[in-house]
Structures are given as C-alpha cells and as structure tokens.
Amino acid sequence: MQITAREIATFLGGTIEGNPDIVLDKPSKIEEGVPGSITFLSNPKYEPFIYKTNASAVLVDSNFQPSSSISATLIRVPDVYGAITQLLEAFTDISDDQRKIEPTAVVSEGATLGSNVGIGESTVICEGANIGDDCLISSHVYIGPNVKIGQNTVLQPGVKIMKDCEVGDNCTIHSNTVIGADGFGFKPDSNGCYKKIPQIGNVVIENDVEIGANCVIDRATMGSTVIEEGVKLDNLIQIAHNVVVGAHTVIAAQAGIAGSTKIGKYCMIGGQVGIAGHLKIPDRTNIAAQSGLNTGPKKEGTALFGSPAIAYKDYLKSYVGFKKLPELMKKLEELESEVKILRSEK
C-alpha cells in the first residue's frame, strides 16, 4: 500500500508540516524508522528519537513543540493514539484470496456458512455449526457441533471452539485459544477419590470481543460462562466455569479467574492477577498486577494492590513500613537494651 502524507493527513483530519507529497508504504517504530515509513510520537520519553529517526513522516500531537530541527514530515493530529489506530487499520489488508475454502478443510454437510467466508487448511467445522458472513477461519481451527459464530469474526490458527458455544460479531480470537473446555468440576467420593461432575453448559462471547493467544475459557457446569461485549483479553488467561466478565473490561496476561466469579463492567485487571471463586467485583474496579483477591471490594471504582489485595493507597503506605522493617527491628532492639539498663539502675 502506497499513500502520500497529504492523503494520510486528510484521512486523519490532521495538518502537515513538511513535504505533503512524500510517499509512504508502511508504518514503523520511531526508533527503527526507515525511509518511506510513517511512525508516531505519543510518549514524551521517546522524543529524542524524533530528531534522528529515518522515518519519512511522524504523527505528533497538535500541540507538540520540537526543541530541535526535524527532517521528517510532521502530521499533527489531536489524538495520536486514535490516529495511529486508524492508520494501522488502513494498512491492514485482508486480500481476496484469503476468502476461500481450502480443499483440505472439512466442513460438515449440516453446517451453515454465510457469504464471503474464508476457511483455512485442515480446519474442521462440525454438524450444526453456523458461521456468519465475512468470517475468516484460519488453518487448523476446530469448530464443534452447534457452535454459532456471528459476522466478520476472525479465528486465528489453532483456535478450538467446543460444542454449543457462541461467538458474536466482529470478534477476534488469537491462535491456540480454547473456548468451551470442560470446567474444573470434581467431587470427592467416600474414599477421597475425585469424580468428574459433567459440564453441560456453554460459553457465550458477545460482540466486539478480542481474546489473545493460548487462553482458555471454560464452559459452564450449567448455564453459560459469559464474556460481554467489548471485553479485551490478553494472552495466557484462564477463565473458569460460570464466570461473567462485564462489558469493556480489560485483563492482562496470565490472569486467572476462578469459577462463578462475576466481574463488573469497565474493570482493569493487571497481569498475573488471581481472583478466587464466587466473588463479585464491582464496575470500574482496577486491580494491579500480581494481586490476589480472596474477597471482593464493596464499592465501584476501587483500586486494589497486593496479595491478599487491599486498597491501593493502603498497600503503598504499608509497603513503606515493610521496607523499613530491618531498620525498625534494629531500633526496637536498641530500645529494649536501653529499657533493661534503666530498669537495672532503679
């Protein structure tokens, strides 16, 4: 794809400083810019790179004031991150030859495919599955019996969607993620041996959800495990049976959520967070990385940190004291010695 700086500025609603006719053919990182590429500056700590980048054009904030000369053409926009998102979408081109059904794909006669569906090599689509229009199903994907997938959804290589699960419109599920594995349900018998509890529910993923690679979302024991609209999940996340993740919540890598926990809307959950089962997490809760929750907060908008997690500011105050423990212990020993001396003098 080749496009001029002028065309990009028009597309993004920005203004140009420099050569408007320079031709650009790809995006790049600002520290790795090459001629013909366009990059961006949004984080001030990367500003030194703008004065030496080899990129031909740079997206900058409308109010950016350079401290030295810049050889690249500047495209000023009100929101750099929003603009780069639009730009990357424009550079992402799914070619028509991907929208075909490969001869090695196995599609059941009882499956229903919408129009303009692409299916990759060695993919299996089972009886009763229903695939919406404009979906792109990559290679080595398994879509189980009676699975429903909405329109314009992308399944990357190796995704497995087990029987009866549902995926909405405009979703992206990255490689090797499993939707609808059995929930971790076992009951000990009189001998202390564990017997499996049948997991007969499903997983429901609503519209505009993105799920990273190597995630597992377990089917419900009964009913549904639900990922509501707009949720964004990073890689390597485990979500157990009957969990509900509220709309527009984001969860970073390696987090684990135990069974039947209900997470509210617009929450932000950091990497390696562990959340115990049967909790209720209110809307707009923020949980810092590596925190562990055994109880849920009572109020919306709470920020938590630590394991077990406590109020974020309380944790920071406690940590200050914790770091000083060796010093405090030494002072305590000195005080005890002084007390002994004073007592002996009486």
Please give the positions annotated as active site. Answer: 241
* Three-state DSSP state, 118: strand
- 314: tokens are 């309380």
Find the angle CA(34)-CA(24)-CA(6) to the nearest 5 degrees: 135
Please, are residues 315 and 331 in contact by the beta-carbon 8 Å criterion?
no
Please, are residues 224 and 185 in contact by the beta-carbon 8 Å criterion?
no
Those residues with Cβ within 8 angstroms of residue 216's Cβ, 6 or more apart along the chain or in another chain: 177, 178, 181, 237, 238, 239
Please, are residues 305 and 318 in contact by the beta-carbon 8 Å criterion?
no
- Tell me the β-bridge partners of 15: 76
224-235: b (≥16 Cβ within 10 Å) or e: bbbbbbbbebbb
